[in-house]
Amino acid sequence: MKKFAVFGNPIKHSISPRLHNYAIKELGLDAFYSRILLEDNIKLKEKFNTLNLDGANITIPFKEDAFKVCDHLDRYANHIGSINTLVKKNNTLYGYNTDAPGFLKAIEEFGKINSALILGAGGTAKALAYALYTKNIKADILNRSEKRKSNFKQSNFYLWDDFKIEQYDLVINSTSAGLVDEEYPVPKELLEDIFKNSSFAFDVIYNKNTPFLRLANSFKIPNKDGKDMLVYQAVLALNFFYNSNLDEKKIEIAMKKAISL
């Protein structure tokens, strides 16, 4: 039996075990996926090996620590500097970032996108900016503080006060504003001006009608939350656990069923 897990802190609310175990069952695989609360980032590799895992997902706040323990990295991981998927092959550790391609798949339904504004500058913003860059989509960053500006060498980086409204095809909330509170990712008046000049909106937060999404709706801007991104990153991760030998469409169908249970 193969063994997988998700590492994070906090971890009890993670729905990854539900998605993966449901897909494992539907695809008739011999495996089990659990969740591990990690207190200390130094213990990540040790825990992975002690538990004799074949693969793992990594979530907040360990994605950058996990990047450092890998022997091999995929193209996305290498550029972004963080991973969410760890796979053991012949006693070496392979690291993948499936958030970036998961996001690209999630926005496909908006059609051709040429420009995007990313609100926020954290780890997720970095993954999204690189994902858009690989598709030749211009991605500007708008954040409340300047401290992470150096992570975005290929993008224009604006602070709230120096931002001049432009036309964007897609506006993305990649901050955690709205996750456990009712905050907007940028001041409401500024977000209203942004939406007046935008075609689509995407929130990385899932299963919540955030203030960002409610405002997009009030401007009648087609929008979606981060549920599909979550599913697609998990689909790609499970396939990496099996050396890319699984049918991704079947995993997607199973995981979409699991998320709506």
Residue 91 or residue 214: which is nearer to ligand NDP going by CB? 214
Residue 138 or residue 144: which is nearer to ligand NDP going by CB? 144
Residue 80 or residue 113: which is nearer to ligand NDP going by CB? 80
Q: Establish whether 16 is an annotated binding residue.
A: yes
Residue nearest to ligand NDP according to CB distances in the complex: 122
What is the amino acid identity at position 142? Answer: L
Q: Establish whether 186 is an annotated binding residue.
A: no
Whether the CB-CB separation of 113 and 137 falls below 8 Å is answered with yes
Q: How far is the CB of 187 from ligand NDP (least distance, A)?
A: 9
Whether the CB-CB separation of 116 and 138 falls below 8 Å is answered with yes
Is 63 among the catalytic positions?
Answer: yes
Catalytic residue (one of 47, 63, 112, 208) = 63
Whether the CB-CB separation of 232 and 100 falls below 8 Å is answered with no
> What whole-number distance in Å separates Cα of residue 117 and Cα of residue 110?
15
Residue 147 or residue 220: which is nearer to ligand NDP going by CB? 147
Q: Establish whether 99 is an annotated binding residue.
A: yes
Tokens at 126, concatenated = 């970095």
**Buried/exposed code over 8-30 (b: 16+ C-beta within 10 A; e: otherwise):** beebeebbbbbbbbbbbeebebe
Q: Establish whether 94 is an annotated binding residue.
A: no
Whether the CB-CB separation of 106 and 224 falls below 8 Å is answered with yes
Report helix, strand or coil for 113.
coil
Q: How far is the CB of 18 from ligand NDP (least distance, A)?
A: 14
Q: How far is the CB of 176 from ligand NDP (least distance, A)?
A: 4
The site for ligand NDP (CB under 6 A) is made up of 60, 99, 120-125, 143-145, 147-148, 174-177, 179, 183, 185, 204-206, 226, 229-230, 233
Q: Give strand pairing partners of 58.
A: 7
Whether the CB-CB separation of 184 and 215 falls below 8 Å is answered with yes
Q: How far is the CB of 84 from ligand NDP (least distance, A)?
A: 7
Q: Active-site positions?
A: 63
Residues tagged in the binding site annotation for NADP(+): 204, 226
Residues tagged in the binding site annotation for shikimate: 14-16, 59, 84, 99, 206, 233
